[in-house]
Structure formats: structure tokens, C-alpha cells
Amino acid sequence: MSHAPRNGSRRPSAAAIRAAKASDGKQQHLDWLNLVEVSGPFLTLPVLLRSWPQLEGVPSGRRADIRLQHGIWQDDRKGAGRLDWIGFLLRTLLEWDEALHLREGAGQCDSGESLAEDDTLLDRFAVSPPGADTTVRPDFALVRPGTDLTAEPDAAGRAQHVPILGMVLPPDTVPTRRIRDDSWAASGVDRLAHVLRHHGVELGLVTDGRWWTLVWAPPGGVTTSATFDTIAWNEAADLVAVRAWVSLLRRGRFFGRPADELLPALLRESLDGQEDVTEALGIQVRQAVELLVDSIGRAETRMVKRGGKGLSGVSASEVYRGAVAVMMRVVFLLFAEERGLLPADNELYAEAYSAGRLYETLDKRRRADGEDSLDHTTAAWHRLIALFHAVHGGVDHPLLTLPAYDGSIFDPKRFPWLEAVPEGADATDNDATRAADGHTSLLPIDDRTVLHVLDSVQFVVVNKERRRLTFRALDVEQIGYVYEGLLSYDGKRAQDTVLGLIGKPGLEHEVSLTELEEQAAPFGVGPRAVPGQKPNLPGLSKKLYEHLKDPRPPAAASKMEKLLAPGDDQARGKAVHRLLAVTENDRDLAERILPFHGLLRDDLRGLPVVIPADGLYVTESRLRKNTGTHYTPRVLAQQVAEGALEPLVYRPGPLQTADDKQWKLISAVDILKLKVADIAMGSAAFLVAACRYLADRLVDAWVEAEDEEALAFRGSHRDQTGAMTAADAESDPLMVRARRLIIEHCLYGVDINPMAVEMAKLSLWLISMDPERPFTFLDDRLVAGDSLLGVAKLEQIENVHLDPVAGRKLHEGRLDELWTEQARARVHSASGNRQAIAGIHSDSIADLDEKRRLLAASNEHLQRLRLIGDLTTGAGLASRGGSDSLYLKAAELASTVASDEVRDSDPVIHEARTRALEWLSKDLPTDGFVRLPVHWPLVFPEVFEAEQGGFDAIIGNPPFLGGQKLTGTLGQAYREYLVLGLGRGQRGSADLVAYFELRAHQLLSERGQTGLIATNTLAQGDTREVGLDQLLDDGIEVRRAVKSARWPSRSAALEYCAVWTTKLGLGNEATRVLDDVVVRGITSSLDPRSRVSGRPYRLVAGSSSGGPDGRTTDRPQAFIGSYVLGKGFVLTPEHAADLIQRDPRNKDVLFPYLNGEDLNSRPDCSASRWVINFHDWSEERARSYPEVFSRVERDVKPERLKNNRKV
């Protein structure tokens, strides 16, 4: 007979007990992680919970020992008591016992006897770093019991038996801080990491007695450090840190366990989650930009209420760009502080400037006074602005010297309204001077906003776990990807109150309140509903689902129904309170929004996203729709860059022989002569990869030339195979110098979006920052413009025609021959100025000023030629039907513009600029980018002069835009320009990437190489015919390719292809490689070449009976160029034959229409139907085929109108 539990209590179920333990274990890990200072990639919560659902316990007797030994240490912190404490923690608490080898004098046991068994053994791990007058020796080691290290012949053999090496520092020496009073000013962590990497041991411990730092130095990766403070380990409150310490480092973690359960394996498993971190960081950065834009709008409102002008003349798009620039600055600063590129360990810098320390200060205020208190102060924004100025202009103070780094990203004059600096004023004026001039010193951005801006880039939430972000673990490519995602958005000014709705991150909707009220009224919801009408929430949810389904609904209709349901009085009161907080306490407005409160997403403050009328907000840009930006792993960018650059740096190399033992590296001088470009660079992931590869080869060339500094670097940072042993070596002064030289001599980039240009600069600065020198000068290297629009050869300008041969014939006798000589002389002069820029080292601000002067002189010298280039390109773009009239007008203007006697103020110059702008704007879609041509021989004249003749390599990942979308996105005139100007008249529904392939090969030198990735449509259908087919006909060879592979990141389910081409022929001993298999050749369809290879047809070839008129034809039977959106477009073969018989011109718009049913049911695979296709023609041109057009007008138009009425 069972008895009920006393007092009505219930015994918890087994499941409940397990859940409670799991919850308790999670909190334990969160607690100790908060007590540890981590730098670099560390253990993540999912890995910790799987390995340690509960932290290992410390027996009560051992706790008493801890208190006893702790007391002894505190009584003698610099003598024997400290050494006893060290010995106790290692030998007794961690149970290392006889496996511990401890240097004499480094620690003593409880009895005070020496623990040193074999100093000679530890000396086997001593290292003398190159350039440092010191020897680093470990003081202790954990050695596998029963091992005789003296029997091992080398360091690799010894490392197999030594899981941990350790160092003991002098008392009161923090392991992560530099040791100043030594010939090598490196921290204890850096010293031990050097020893670990030299010997191939991954784990280490550094301690001074109080601070214990776990060091992880994985091969090829960054160094991680996790520091425990033992000062309070005698207190019960700190027991969780002791338990974590024991769990991680107890002897049993290193011996007798499977390899995947050892600590290094767990650390690597945690590191593998970096893609999730990158995706989460991208979302948070966008949210931070949204919050900052909103805060700028709120600050403007406060300024206006005080009688100010607000942001007069500053567009919402400009505000968005300014907010993005602030976030780019913040990330750069945190990156530089954590990597030691800025003096974060200087006390004055830390207290007065540091971005990382500023977050800690604000976080303490939040914890002490509540977050709301930060709404009313703005000191943090002042401090950030001061930091931006310090980085740009430098600091010269007895306690802090910071060189002026310059750089457009930090230039105060770039976004003067962020500081309310008047145009023309000195951006370095102090607040008092600005106030005296009658200008507000700074926008009143509240401290709460700054707190969340800093929080968003220092912590990420992945799988509901809040992790501290470490910039030591982030690749530059990851940071670039985060910011590249911001290119898909823009700033707007609200015409009405706008609400930010929930949804998948990046696909959320911003909807006006009035629009929502109008949608809701027929369903009895909101103030516009008929009084007394019963709410129909299921109907409203379905309506909103349909209304907001593009690009994606906020949620399922059933979920929206629940979110729209009014709660009880308590829930309603809480919702009103939240809405009042974001509506300036406007109760009427809050009541209007209340019915939709459940659909609103929160900003980073945890408040609903509500933008007041005339406020600023961020939304997806119609100008640059989010076409699916995906994280490009560093390994993929490296693969593309190295594949294109390898044939250039080795002669003989892969173009001559597949035997890499015969390859010979070219000299350092020749490496620096290479010219490499990405013509759609985005955030410069591929230029970064090129920089890394070429800088490594430059160092190798220095080594071959027996440069002493390079030889020391090789001995310090590379293993026996020559591979870099640590990502930390990237900050070595020699590597930084090599990268700066590569950037200043070899790399070029173009992007249509000016924001992308700034992001690319940031990426290159991050991998080449020298703490003692300004940023590399990049204004002559990275430019904004349309890579496909503009002239590729100077002859096009000389003959005022995109086709120089046609131009010479058209303008014969109209253009003075002297004009050609003058044009080439101007280009040569500008080229000399630009070569002089590369010859000046960026060692000081004076050097950068001289570079700017030379660049300005070069641009001024080519100004008239650029205008003629605009006229030439504009005439080609705006000409219809091959008319020459615009080219003739362009030549007429060019002959005058080219004259040195015509001044810039002359009316003809104004007319020329007006005509060029008019022609270039032909059919420009609403909100499209202003068309800014890139005239390659003028933008980079030193690359295209006769001796160089173009780029040596072009690499990258061109943007994807399907052939069906070209006209709607870019305009009809632009598409015609692509077909005639780049595609050589080859028509078809080719994707944009085909034209990038063609343009890339136009810009190559005679030895040119390309490495480009694209969607796998590059080798299919019209895209192949327009692109690769024509290139192979020109003699270009595909030397390496990946036909189709899954994108190497979990965030994208798509297939890509990669193609490496060469203009130089391959030697007899060279190989062609397709999908990692050696083949005899590679076709345009990226298939192996065989004896019967030829240009492929679409699906099936023509047959003798395939034509409706019975004639033999070799035209492709399959038509895939249009989507058939109406039955009236489809005809029988007999009807098609009749139309062609009546007017043979109808063959231009009638095509066989093959589908799967035909392929499966017709033995000859012929088409059972035909289809009408007017391509992307205008209505006027389509009407020139009257019989066919009348059918479409009769059978299709009524159906379309009917569908439009339904919408």
C-alpha cells in the first residue's frame, strides 16, 4: 500500500532530476567562464556540457588543504610559501604526482624538499628565439609515466609523451603582460607559446603563483590563453573556479582517454563552430547599425527641439553610410587592441581611449544603476570620437605616444555631421573652439546606444549561448563578410510611423503603421475597424501572411494569430509601457500600435522597433537587393588566389611542368612587379588571400637571397616543410613589411559600391598594420566604379568608339593624329606619377601627403581623357540599333575637349559633361547606382602601358545576376551594351558572370592568369556560349577547374564552379586538372576533352525532320531562354510552320519548345510544341513581327490583365 508524501509534496521524477542537473551544470559553466579572462578561441558551452555535464567535485578534505596552502602562500607571497603553493596545485590538487617534472627552485612540496628530479630533461625543451638575447626554458612538464624521454631522437618524439609544458614567472607578473625588464619584451604567454610551437606541444601553463594561464598553441592557429586568478580560492564562493580548474587539468584528462576526449581535441571542436559565430556576428552588427541610425535620428530630434537645424542636407543614405563607418572603426579598434597593434596595456590609453575598456566601464554602470540610466548621458560617444581622432591624427603625450595612422575610414572630414564639424573647419578643433563658432560639438548619442554597439561586437549569441568574441580567432575574411552583408541595406527617412516586424534575420519587414491599420481594419482590428466588429484574427493572420510573403513572411499564419491575440491586463500594461518608451510617451500612438505589438521585433536594447514619422531607419535596399551573400571560407579564397598566382611566381612552374621539384621561385624584385586585380572585390577576401600568398613567396625569395632577417624569421616561424607554424607569426615585423610591399606594388581592386571600397581598405589594413607606421596608402589601388562599363584599351578613346576598328573607319579625317600622340603622352606622364607613389614608403604622414599630391596630379592630367572616355562609353550605351550618330557627336565634342587651349570653364566642357551624363543614364532603373565607368588604362595607367600591357592575374567571385534579370535590374540600354560592347554581339540569356569573364580576359597581360568562382551556370547554356565558348575560341585555355561543388559552408545550399585560365600556352610536361583529376584538356562545359570533343549544343542537336518546314537544320531544338507565362505563347509545329512560311522573318521569334515529356516519349527527342519568344525586346520591336505579336496580344494580354486584377 502506497502512502502519499507528507505536506502534499511530490517526489521529483527522474526526468525532472536530470533536467535540474543539466540546468545546474550549464550555470556552473557560465559561472566559471565569467571568472576567466580568455583571449583566443576557447571551449564553447555545448562542448563543455557534453564533456562535463557537471563539473568534477573537490572533496571536503582537499578543500581544507586548499585553505591551508593558500594561507601559507599569502604569508610568504614571494618566498617558499609561493613555491609550496605552486607545487601543491600541480602535484596534489591536479594529481600529477610522479608524472610531474619540476625545475629545482620552481616549486617545493609540502615538506619543503626540492621537487626537481631532472633539470636536464626540462632543458631539452629550451629555445633561444631569433633576435632575442635570452633563452626560454620551461620550469615544469607533465610527462607520461614510464617514459624515457632521453631515448627519443628529436623534439617530435618527445612531444608525443609531454601533453603540457609550464613556466614559473617572478612574483606579481601577470602572464599576459609583457615583461619589460628583459631583452625580449614578450609576455610569459608569448614566451611559452614560442616554446610550445617549437617542440610541437599544444598545451602549456604559465604562472606567477597567483595567476595561472592555460595556453593553447595549435599548429597553424592563433594562440589561446585562459587566465585563472587564485587569489580567492580559499573562499567557498570561488569553489566553482577550482572545480573548473580541476576538471580541465586533472591528470586523468591527459592519460588513458580516447584522442577525441583530450583537451586539445575539445578546443578544436569548439573552434569548428566559427561559421556559426560569423553568422551571428553579422546579424548583431546589422542590428547595431540599425540602433545607431535610430539613435542618430533621435539625437537629431532633440537637436531640433532645442532650436538647432538637425542634419540639414544629410540624406538618410549618408546617415547609414556614416553608421556603418562607425561600426567599421569600432571593429578595427577592438581587433587592433586585442592583437597588440594598439597600446591597450598603456594605462593612459586604457583609461582614456580604449574601446574595450569603455565597454567594461559602461557595463559596470549598467549593473550598478540599471540600463535606463545610460539613456541620459553621452560621455561614451565623446570618448569614441576622441579615440577616432587619436588613431587618425596621433597622440604625443609624455605618458602616451601614438603615431598618426591616417586612413579614410577614420577621417573626421568624411562624415563631419557625426561631430557637427562645419564644412571647411579644422576637424581637430577642440570642443571649446567649435562652441565658440556656434556649432554643436557632437551629436548627443546616448551611452546606452554606445554600450550596445560595443556589446554587439564583443559578445555573440549562438544557440542561445552568449559567448565572448575573440578577435584573435577571427580571420580578416570573416570580418569582411560581416560587413559585406551591410551592402544590401540602406537608410530611409520615415514618412509615417514605421514598425519593424519579426522575421528571419536579414529578411524582416519594415511596414508603416497606416498600412498595417488598413490591412487590419476589415478584420475588426485596430482603430480603423468598424466599432463593435468582432476581431477575426485567423483572417488577419492569413492576410498579413500573403501581403508580406515577399521575400519571406514574418512567421507562419498560425504563429502570427497567436502573437496578435490580446493578452490579459498585465500583459497589456507591460506592452503599453514598452511602447511608451519608444514613442516619447505618446499614449495615443502607443494605443494605435498596441494591436500589433506581438509582431514587433526588439532592438538591441530589448525595446520594440518603432520609428517615428520623419525618423531614420534601416531597410533592405532596392538598389542592391540581398541576392544571398554567403560566408566565403578563407580556404576557398586561398585556393582561388594560389591557383592563379602559382604560375606567375614560379618560372619554370606549373605552366611548364607538373613536377614541383623543378619549379624555380622568381626574385623578390620580379614578385613586386606583378599586378593582380579583383574587379568586383567586395570586402577584398580574394585580395587578402593574394596578399598572404605573395607576401609568403616574397619572404621565401628573401630567404633564397640569404637575407638575414628573413632567415631568422624562417627559423622562428616555420616548420621543416616551410609551412607557417602559427597565425601569430602574421604580426611579425618582417611579415608585415612583406605584406605592405605587396599591397603597395601588386594589388588592385574595383567595386561598384563605394562602401565596399572602404571595407576592402579595412581588410587590407587589418593584415598589414604596423603599430609604428601609418596605414598603407590605398587610394591609388582601390577605386569605386562599374568594372564592366568603360574602355579597356586606350585605342577606344583615341578612336572614340568601343570598337577601335569601326571608330577609325567612322571618324576618318575627323580626328587629328596629333590627338593620339597627346593622349599617349598624358597617360605616360600620369603613369610616371603613379609609379612614383609606389616608390614612396608609407612611413609618415608626410609620405602619405606626397602620395596624395602625386595621385591628384595624375588624376588632373587625365581629367580630359576620362571625359572623352565617358563620351565614348555613353555613346555606345545609348546608341540604339547600331546607329553611329552618337559616336559622331562624341567625336565632335572630343576634338574640342582634347585641346589644351580650351579651359575647364568653357561651355563646350559643360556640354560634354552634360551629354556624357545623359547618355550614361540611359534607361537607368529607379534608385540605380549612378553609372560610373572605369576606364582601365586611365584609372591604372601604369598597368596598361606597353611594357606591362594589363594585369598578370585577375581573381575573385563576381556577383551573380541571372540572365532573365539583367534588363529589369540594369536597364535595357545597359544590357545591349553588354551584348555588343563585351559579348561581341553574341545574344542569349547569359548570366552576368559571363560578361565578367570576358572583361577579365580583356584586361590581362600576355602572360595573364585568372582564377574566378561562379555559380555552375557558367558552363551551361547561353552563359557558356557568351563566355567560355568565345574565350576558348580566342585561344584561352582552362588549365584547372572545379565543375560543380557544394559551397564549403553550412549557411549556403548551393553549387559553385571554379575556373583557372591562362593566356600562355601550357608546356608538354604541364597538366590540366579537372575536379582533382588529371585530364588531357578541359572544354567550355568543364568536361574532360576527348578525341571527339567539340562545342556542345543545347540538350539535343537538330535533326532532318525537326523543322516545321521540313528542312534540315542544325539549330538547337531545345529552348530555355524564356519562362512561358501564358498559354498563348505556345503553338503547334504546324502553326509555327505556317507563320514562318508567311513571313520567314518569324523564325527570329519562333523556337522549338522541348520539355521532359518530349524527351521521355519521343524517340528522336524532337519538340512537340513551339514557343513565341520576343527575347528582352521593346514592345516597338516586337510589333515589327505583326502576325506573331497579334496572337500574343489576343491570347496572352487578357489573361495577364485578369491576373493583375486579382492581385
Instruction: Kindly give, in sequence order, each residue whose CB lies less than 8 Å from that of residue 23, ignoring residues fewer than 6 positions away.
Output: none
pLDDT at 418 over 70: yes
| Strand 1055-1062 to 1150-1153 pairing | unpaired
Residue 7, pLDDT score: 40
> What pLDDT band is residue 722 in, cutting at 50, 70 and 90?
very low
Grid cell 498596441 — which residue? 594
Based on its alpha-carbon atoms, the radius of gyration of the chain, rounded to whole angstroms, reads 34
Q: For residues 799-816, give the mean pLDDT.
A: 88
DSSP state of 790: S
What's the whole-number mean pLDDT along residues 580-595? 95
**CB-based burial of residue 607 (10 Å sphere; 0-12 exposed, 13-18 middle, 19+ buried)?**
middle
Which of 27-41, 482-496, 1150-1164 has the highest average model confidence (pLDDT)? Answer: 482-496
Q: Which residues, including other chains, have CB under 8 Å from residue 168's CB and lie 6 or more apart?
A: 86, 103, 106, 107, 139, 140, 207, 208, 209
Residue 841: pLDDT above 60?
yes
Distances (CA, A) of 842 to 583, 787, 846, 847: 50, 28, 9, 6
pLDDT value at position 271? 77
Decide if pLDDT at 1037 tops 90: yes
From the number of C-beta atoms within 10 Å of its C-beta (0-12, 13-18, 19+), residue 227 rates as: buried
pLDDT at 422: 40
Whole-angstrom distance, CA of residue 479 vs CA of residue 472: 12
Q: Residue 884 contacts by C-beta under 8 Å, 6 or more apart in sequence? A: 810
Rounded Cα–Cα distance for residues 221 and 728 (Å): 8
Is the pLDDT reported for residue 34 higher than 50?
yes
Looking at per-residue pLDDT, the higher value among 547 and 442 belongs to 547
Strand 224-229 and strand 100-102: pairing?
A: unpaired
pLDDT in tens, 918-949: 999 999 987 778 899 999 999 999 999 867 79
Cell reading at 891:
567625336
Whether the pLDDT of residue 1061 is over 50: the answer is yes
CA dist., res. 72 & res. 749, Å (int): 64
In terms of DSSP bridges, do strands 616-620 and 489-493 run parallel, antiparallel, or are they unpaired?
antiparallel
Confidence (pTM): 0.77
pLDDT confidence of residue 606: 93
The Cα 746–Cα 692 span in angstroms is 12
pLDDT at 1137 over 90: no
Segment 658-678, tens digit of pLDDT: 998 899 999 999 999 999 999
* pLDDT, tens digit (0-9, with 9 covering 90-100), for 1170-1180: 898 887 777 87
The confidence score (pLDDT) of residue 788 equals 97
DSSP-derived letter for residue 90 is I
Q: Average of pLDDT values for 1074-1095?
A: 84
Q: What is the DSSP string of 584-596?
A: TT-HHHHHHHGGG
Listed in sequence order, the residues at least 6 apart from 313 whose beta carbon sits closer than 8 Å to its beta carbon are: none
* DSSP conformation class of 471: T
The pLDDT value recorded for residue 205 is 97
Instruction: Summarize the chain as % helix, strand, coil (round to 5).
Output: 50, 10, 40
- 214: nearest Cα among 225, 200, 202: 225
Choice between 1025 and 13, residue whose per-residue pLDDT is larger: 1025
Is the pLDDT score of 1028 beyond 50? yes
Pairing of strands 140-142, 164-168: antiparallel
**What's the pLDDT tens digit per position in 1-27?**
444 333 433 444 444 434 444 457 788
Give the pLDDT of residue 729.
Answer: 57
Cβ-Cβ contacts under 8 Å for 1021 (sequence gap 6 or more):
988, 989, 1098, 1120
Q: In the predicted model, what is the mean pLDDT of residues 96-103?
A: 90
Q: Which amino acid is at 310?
A: G
In contact, 446 and 14? CB cutoff 8 Å: no
- For residue 1103, the model assigns a pLDDT of 37
Q: Residue 953: pLDDT above 80?
A: yes
Cell of 362: 559602461
Q: Give the pLDDT mean for 865-872.
A: 96
Residue 866: the pLDDT is 97
Whole-number pLDDT of residue 16: 42
Q: What is the pLDDT of residues 215-262, one digit of tens each?
A: 999 887 778 889 999 998 988 756 899 999 999 999 988 888 888 888
Report the pLDDT value the prediction gives residue 1094, as an integer from 0 to 100: 60
Whether 1102 has a pLDDT exceeding 60, the answer reads no
Least trusted range by pLDDT, from 205-209, 431-435, 572-576, 1052-1056: 431-435
pLDDT tens readout for residues 1168-1207: 888 988 877 778 778 888 888 888 888 776 665 554 434 3
Helices (H), 879-925: 885-897, 907-920
Q: What pLDDT is stored for residue 208 in this prediction? A: 93
In tens, the pLDDT along 150-181 reads 667 666 667 788 999 999 999 989 898 877 65
pLDDT exceeds 80 at position 715:
no
Lowest mean pLDDT: which of 180-194, 720-734, 955-969? Answer: 720-734
Residue 206: strand pairing partners = 167, 213
Burial of 1111 (0-12, 13-18, 19+ CB in 10 A): exposed
Are the C-beta atoms of residues 246 and 58 closer than 8 Å to each other? yes
> What integer best gives the mean pLDDT of the chain?
85
pLDDT single digits (tens) 477-517: 888 888 888 888 999 999 999 999 999 888 899 999 999 99
Q: Work out the percent of the chain whose per-residue pLDDT is above 70.
A: 85
Mean pLDDT of 306-327: 90
Residue 810 near residue 885 (C-beta atoms within 8 A): no
Longest Cα separation, the chain: 118
Q: Edge-to-edge, what's the strand order for the sheet holding 747-751?
A: 782-784, 747-751, 676-678, 951-956, 1004-1015, 1055-1062, 1037-1046, 1072-1074, 1077-1079
Q: What is the DSSP letter of 727?
A: G
Are the C-beta atoms of 1135 and 1170 separated by less than 8 Å? Answer: yes
Q: What is the pLDDT of residue 435?
A: 36
Distances (CA, A) of 877 to 874, 939, 972, 1077: 5, 20, 10, 43
Q: Cis check for the bond before 153: say yes or no (omega within 30 of 0).
A: no
pLDDT at position 549: 87
Average pLDDT of the residues in 180-190? 73
Map residue 158 onto helix, strand or coil.
helix
- Band of pLDDT at residue 629, cut at 50, 70 and 90: low
Q: What is the rounded distance in angstroms from the CA atom of residue 662 to the CA atom of residue 406?
A: 45
HSE-CB of 260 using CA atoms within 13 angstroms? 3
Give residue for cell 489573361.
Answer: 1199
Is 429's pLDDT higher than 70?
no
Q: What are residue 1131's DSSP bridge partners? A: 1170
Q: Is residue 532 pLDDT above 80, yes or no?
A: yes
